[in-house]
Amino acid sequence: MKNLINKVTVKVPHRLTGFFEIVDTKRGQKISDPEHIGSRGAGISLSALGKTTLTSIESKSSSEPICEIYINDKRLNEKAETSYYIFEYFKKFIPKPVKIEIRHHFELPVGCGYGASGSGALGVSYGLNELFKLSFTTSECGKIAHISEVVNQTGLGTICGLLCSGLCVLTEPGYPCSYERIPVPKNIRVICTSFGKISTKSILSDDHFQLKIKKVGKLVLKKFIKNPNVYTFMELSHQFIEKTQLLDVLGLDETKRLIDSLNKENIIGASMNQLGRSVFAICKDKNFEGVLDIFKSYQTENNIFNLKVNENSIQIDNSPD
C-alpha cells in the first residue's frame, strides 16, 4: 500500500524593522516568561516572501515524529533553531509514526535584517497545525512562533509585525500583539540591498547594545506615535541608527556611505535594517530610477531588491499529493 503523503505551503512576507525598543524587564525586574518579552517599534512588511513547504509521509521506521529542516536547500535540522523549537513543541500532538520535511525558501538574504526567522517560524507553526489538522487557533500558532523567536534570540517583535502587515507600529511588547497599522501611499517603492549578516543573537545578548537600543528606541517611538506616517517612520529610523551609533560601533562604513548618499536625494528616506548589514530606501515611483542608480554604484544589480509594501499577512495552500 502506498504511503500517504500530505503537503502544505505557507507564504509569509519578509519584514524589516526601522527602530525598536527592547522590553525584557518590568518594574526593574527581568521578565521570565518569553511570551511577555518583546519589543516596541515600527517596521514594514515587504512584497518579497518566505515560503515554507511542509511534507509529511507515514513511516514505519521511527516510533515518533522525525523532522528534517532545510533553509534555501541547505539541510540544517536542529541548527535551524527557531523552526526546530516549534517542531519540538508540536511533536507531542502529531500522529505517529510520521516523517516531516520542512523546506524554507526565502526571496531575500537570510540573517540580514529581513525577518526570515520570523517568516519561517510562522510558516512552521501555521503549517504543522494545518498539515495535521490540529486544533490550535491562529492566535496560538502566532504565540508559539513568538516564543520560539524570543527563546532562540532570533527576534523580538517580528511575529507581531508580520501578523499586522503593512507599515505597523508595535505599541506594547510580547504576546498577544498590540499594534496599529499606518496607511501608506500606493505610489511608493522600497529598495533594499545587503552587504552581509549581523547576528541578531549577538546584539540582543550584548548588555551595552541593549541599553542603547532601549533608551533610543523608547525616545523615537514616542515621537512616531505623535505623528505616525511613512515620512516620520523614515526620519526616525535614521535617527535611531545615528543615536545608537550602530553603524560606527559595528564598523559598517560602506553601509553608512550608501545611506548618506541616498539621503541627499529627493526621497522619503533611507536607513539600515534592524538588524542586518542592509540598507533600505523608500521613495515615490517617479524617483525610483535615480535611487536605483545610487544603489548600483555600491552593489551589483542582482543584489538589489525592488519591492512594495505588503499589506497581506499569511497565505496557506493545502495541496495533498
**Average pLDDT for 255-280:** 97
Contacts of 220 (CB under 8 A, 6+ apart): 19, 236, 239, 240, 243
pLDDT tens string 62-84:
778 999 999 999 999 999 999 99
Domain ranges of the chain: 5-180+311-318, 184-307
What CA–CA distance (Å, rounded) separates 261 from 289? 15
As a whole-number percent, the residues of the chain with pLDDT over 70 amount to: 98
Of 7-21, 110-124, 196-210, the one with minimum mean pLDDT is 196-210
**5-180+311-318 CATH pick, 3.40.50.300, 3.30.230.10, 3.40.390.10, 3.30.360.10:** 3.30.230.10
CA distance 180 to 178: 7
Which CATH number is 184-307 given?
3.30.70.890
Residue 209 is predicted with a pLDDT of 84
Specify burial of residue 254 (Cβ count, 10 A radius: 0-12, 13-18, 19+): middle
* CB atoms inside a 10 Å sphere around CB 28: 5
Rg over alpha carbons for the chain, rounded to the nearest Å, is 20
This prediction's pTM = 0.94
Q: For residue 2, what pLDDT is reported?
A: 47
Does residue 3 surpass a pLDDT of 60?
A: no
pLDDT classification of 1: cutoffs 50, 70, 90: very low
CB 161 within 8 A of CB 154: no
C-alpha to C-alpha distances, 158 to 45, 116, 145, nearest whole angstrom: 10, 9, 10
Q: Is the pLDDT of residue 96 over 90?
A: no
pLDDT exceeds 70 at position 275: yes
Q: In the predicted model, is pLDDT for residue 280 greater than 80?
A: yes
> Among 53, 49, 45, which residue's Cα sits nearest to residue 124?
53
More confident residue, 251 or 20: 20
